[in-house]
Amino acid sequence: MTTRTSAYDHFKHWAATLLEHQRDSADGADEVYQFSTIGALLDGVYDGDVTVADILRHGDFGLGTFNHLDGEMVILDGVCYRLRADGTATRAASTDRTPFAAVTRFRTDFDIHICNTANRSQVLGAVDRQIESVNLIYGIRISGRFRELHTRTVMEQHRPYPPLTEATGGQAETRFTDVSGVLVGFRTPQFQQGISVAGYHLHFLNTDRTGGGHVLDFTVDEGVVAVSGASQLHLSLPTSGAFLDASLSGDHLSEQINAAEGARNGEDSR
């Protein structure tokens, strides 16, 4: 009877684990859903047909941009925010459209507590030492008190659209000091460069949800880094518009992405 009961309990545990895995896969818990590619942005594809409402069906955490590059995107706790070039942040409308976005359903796999002042390289290095593999994708959420935080936001572009490396030449930069908030983004494998931004890609949103931008550098006094792993990438490509004729296989892709996203992005990509 004891052996039979033990076998039955083992079967129940196995079945429950399998069902939980299937539920996670079904609701996108282990998946990053991405619309379009960074390579398309590099080529000046700044208009998309996908709405914020469409993106939020696939995740509650992520980042991206808006049509015409009119603001950086942060998705946090199922709410989408638009971070504009003047450093302000507002809640995005469900009908706003995006040429690029990446989202996941964030579930913390592990976290790292920051008790002493640490710079960008130290924080991201600590994450690198704890992740399971550099070949998987990780959602990164860093909540805390930042001594200094340097962001940029590309200004709205007008047709004919310039390549992203030119558009970022006129970017607006903001320096926050002694500010609380959250960094939202991903750590992506090197082999995804051009599809995504290889390495770390982070956006900042302050606690009041009134300011933020694309993160160039930061120093944090105290906080918590939460990490959510993903082994699946769902890539949805545009089927109309400028994407169909875009040149997506240019030379020096990594150099172009690092120039557009911020020169320090590549430093922490391992």
CATH number where 209 lies? 3.30.1330.80
Task: List, in sequence order, every residue forming a beta bridge with 80; answer none if it has no partner.
Answer: 75
Beta strands across the sheet bearing 89-91: 89-91, 79-83, 72-76, 61-65, 101-104, 31-35, 232-236
258 — pLDDT class (breaks 50, 70, 90): confident
Go through the chain and tell me how many residues it has: 270
Residues of the chain with pLDDT > 70, as a percent, come to: 85
Question: Is position 266 within any domain?
Answer: no
99/25: higher pLDDT:
99
Which residues, in sequence order, are CB contacts of 57 under 8 Å at separation 6+?
none
Question: Is position 67 within any domain?
Answer: yes
* Rounded Cα gap, residues 254 and 229, in angstroms: 24
- How many structural domains are present in the chain? 1
Report whether pLDDT(237) > 70: yes
The SS3 of residue 87 is coil
Question: Is position 270 within any domain?
Answer: no
Question: Is position 252 within any domain?
Answer: yes
Question: Is position 2 within any domain?
Answer: no
Question: Is position 249 within any domain?
Answer: yes
* Rounded Cα gap, residues 109 and 227, in angstroms: 6
Task: Report whether 231 contacts 137 (CB < 8 A).
Answer: yes
Question: Is position 208 within any domain?
Answer: yes
Question: Is position 1 within any domain?
Answer: no
Range of the domain at 150: 9-261
Task: Give tens-digit pLDDT for 136-161.
Answer: 999 999 999 999 999 999 999 999 99
255 — pLDDT class (breaks 50, 70, 90): confident
